[in-house]
Homo-oligomer: A and B are copies of this chain.
């Protein structure tokens, strides 16, 4: 039994994996693999319809928004957001909260002026900037809702005079959000939603078609909306597993229920980090992520032996990102709280041994 704290592609529910494996052999009794059926077959169209329906249901998506399943990961959306929303000669505002936010704003520079209205770069992104003005003349303001590398999370979304574009790759479906507060939400699937290879996009329809820019078909949200995410062959398997994962989430009680579980997991783990004299957290307390819990050993020489102890207990994926070091416990939706307790026990055992 492994306890998978990997930052992503991250843990998926075991029952989802079992259903996915079965579909690779025989999809819904068709006698064919899910991998070798037409995306235009009624069987696959039902999968995509169900996935879209589940997104709308779980997030209570209001009318006037479209839900897309695209390829290319959030990194492609870094370019597509400005391609579709930033008018020729226009300006976009970015809040820089980490490497991913930085990559997003660099891509926007290909399409217009970028105004970095706030950054926590000077502290290696240990906190979320809160004191900034949103320029009313920008086309949108871009945020990263959770920062995997530094273990920070935007806990309170701000009101904005202009559309908010949010990269929610690493905390999508982990907590309630009000979709109407956003102009565009995007997320790579491979944390809370499914396997790598598909990207969720939720876009407010009336923001589109206003850039004065001609956009190639595959990069054009409007074309993807008209094609129902099937302008070309979609990543069928990744969409199917996402549908299964969203269905699992619904059966658990939806976003509200999982948010409580996620809060509980984060709470007990941060408590141990604060209590245990051998470890300390790296992010500003008020900005601590409920998805990626980053911490270090007070004594750097303890890092290797602690990882070794974790390895013996079946705890995997705990090593921190190289730019922060230490440890990163990713506690995504599918990670059971029992795994968190196994980690806490290991921390206590390690502290006992190293008193």
Taking A33-B17, A72-B72 as contacts, is the C-beta distance between A233 and B188 under 8 angstroms? yes
A30: B residues at CB distance < 8 A: 2
Which chain A residues (194-225) contact chain B, with CB distance < 8 Å?
A: 194-198, 214-219
Q: How far is the CA of A215 from the CA of B107 in the complex (A)?
A: 9
A190: B residues at CB distance < 8 A: 233
Distance from A33 Cβ to chain B, minimum over Cβ atoms (Å): 5
The answer to whether A2 touches B31, judged by C-beta atoms less than 8 angstroms apart, is yes
Residue A6 CB within 8 A of the other chain? yes
Which chain A residues (63-97) contact chain B, with CB distance < 8 Å?
A: 71-76, 78-79
Interface stretch among A36-44, A126-134, A157-165, A339-347?
A36-44
Q: How far is the CA of A232 from the CA of B186 in the complex (A)?
A: 15
* Cβ-neighbour of A235 out of B71, B231, B316 (below 8 A): B71
Q: Mark A231-246, 1 if CB is under 8 A from B, else 0.
A: 1111111100100000
* Cβ-neighbour of A218 out of B39, B76, B198 (below 8 A): B76
Residue A320 CB within 8 A of the other chain? no
Distance from A22 Cβ to chain B, minimum over Cβ atoms (Å): 7
Q: How many copies does the complex hold?
A: 2
Q: How many residues of A contact B (CB 8 A)?
A: 63
Distance from A319 Cβ to chain B, minimum over Cβ atoms (Å): 10
Residue with the greatest number of chain B CB neighbours at <10 A, chosen from A21, A39, A106: A21
The answer to whether A20 touches B9, judged by C-beta atoms less than 8 angstroms apart, is no
Interface of A is mostly: loop
Residue with the greatest number of chain B CB neighbours at <10 A, chosen from A232, A233, A316: A233
A281: B residues at CB distance < 8 A: none
Residue A147 CB within 8 A of the other chain? no
Distance from A60 Cβ to chain B, minimum over Cβ atoms (Å): 28
Q: How far is the CA of A73 from the CA of B9 in the complex (A)?
A: 21
Q: How far is the CA of A217 from the CA of B74 in the complex (A)?
A: 12
A241: B residues at CB distance < 8 A: 35
Additional pairs, 6, CB under 8 Å, beyond known A79-B216, A107-B218: A17-B35, A24-B24, A38-B317, A72-B72, A73-B232, A196-B234
Please, could you name 11 A-B residue pairs with CB atoms under 8 Å apart, sorted by A?
A: A2-B32, A6-B37, A8-B233, A9-B39, A17-B33, A32-B316, A71-B73, A73-B218, A103-B217, A195-B237, A197-B236
